[in-house]
Amino acid sequence: MKKKVLLSAVCLALALGSASYAKSGVFVGANAGLAITTPSYLNELKDNKSMLPDTGVGYVLGLDAGYQQNFTPKMGLRYYLSYNFSQSFASKTNAISLSNGVEGTSGSTKATQTFETINFNHLVAANVDFFYNVTDMFGAYVGLGAGFSNFSIDMKSTILVPGEGSDSQTIKFAGNSFALPLNVGVSMNLGEHQVVKLGAKIPLLGTDIKASDKNAFGSDKAQATLRNYIIQVGYSYMF
């Protein structure tokens, strides 16, 4: 019995000793990468889905600040606040027919209608990530965030009639929602203080948006749900 108690005490001491020598501290970081915005059109927009832009692609810039707590030299948790700003772009051109300047199905004037969207997104979240260092240099992480997502969208519609010119109209959309991003990625440790990460933020919830002009599509029900996927490379320094 005494041997078992002694062995347990030694194991506990070794575990605590390892944890005490593990590197913990405050860190700050910055990241940049790719933003991919996917829409799910609803109501009147769903009826015109075949004419509207699909996935938008653009850039994202972000900042992180928080605390890293190591339980052992190989694993621990990161608690941090993150802010990401992204801008993505999408467009689609359709062949249409016009009759007396009004779109119709039996018109004799051929034209094209192009929809161009610019998506602006702000994502603020409090995150907790679990990390595990496979080697002294390379590791992986997974975690979850909770916060706020804001979208503002400019959708420009341009009708071009060959030989007669073009006519454009810009419709604005906006929306806010609770955000729940899933964080996954790999990391490379550059000594005790510096970390480079390649990761992704996967939105588990979408953001509903509405047209600011209720008559833009002949109805006040022009809505969509957007999800903003982020793939980014980041650098952080721990003090």
Domains and CATH numbers, the chain: 24-238 (2.40.160.20)
Between 85 and 50, name the one with better pLDDT. 85
Confidence label for 215 from pLDDT (cuts 50, 70 and 90): low
Confidence label for 79 from pLDDT (cuts 50, 70 and 90): very high
DSSP-derived secondary structure for 146-181: EEEEEEEEEEEEEEEETTTEEEEEEEEEEEEEEE-E
Q: How far apart are CA 149 and CA 90, in angstroms?
A: 20
Share of the chain above pLDDT 70, in %: 83
Between 198 and 215, name the one with better pLDDT. 198
pLDDT at position 16 is 42
**Does the pLDDT value for residue 229 go beyond 80?**
yes
* Listed range (76-80, 104-108, 154-158, 184-188) with the worst mean pLDDT: 104-108
Give CA separation, 82 vs 51, 143, 148, 181, in Å. 36, 13, 11, 11
**Does the pLDDT value for residue 15 go beyond 80?**
no
Between 103 and 82, name the one with better pLDDT. 82
Q: Which residues contact 163 (CB under 8 A, 6 or more apart)?
A: none
Average pLDDT over residues 21-41: 90
Looking at every residue in the chain, the average pLDDT score rounds to: 85
DSSP 53: -
pLDDT at position 204 is 97
Average pLDDT over residues 70-94: 94
Residue entry with tokens 């689609």: 92
Q: How far apart are CA 168 and CA 170, in angstroms?
A: 7
pLDDT at position 145 is 98
Confidence label for 90 from pLDDT (cuts 50, 70 and 90): very high
Q: How far apart are CA 220 and CA 199, in angstroms?
A: 39
**Does the pLDDT value for residue 57 go beyond 90?**
yes
pLDDT at position 4 is 57
Q: How far apart are CA 84 and CA 165, in angstroms?
A: 40
Between 113 and 228, name the one with better pLDDT. 228
**Does the pLDDT value for residue 186 go beyond 80?**
yes
pLDDT 10s digits, 121-134: 999 999 999 999 99
Q: Which residues pair with 64 in a beta bridge?
A: 29, 82
Amino acid at 172: K
pLDDT at position 162 is 81
pLDDT at position 108 is 65
Q: How far apart are CA 221 and CA 214, in angstroms?
A: 7
Confidence label for 177 from pLDDT (cuts 50, 70 and 90): very high
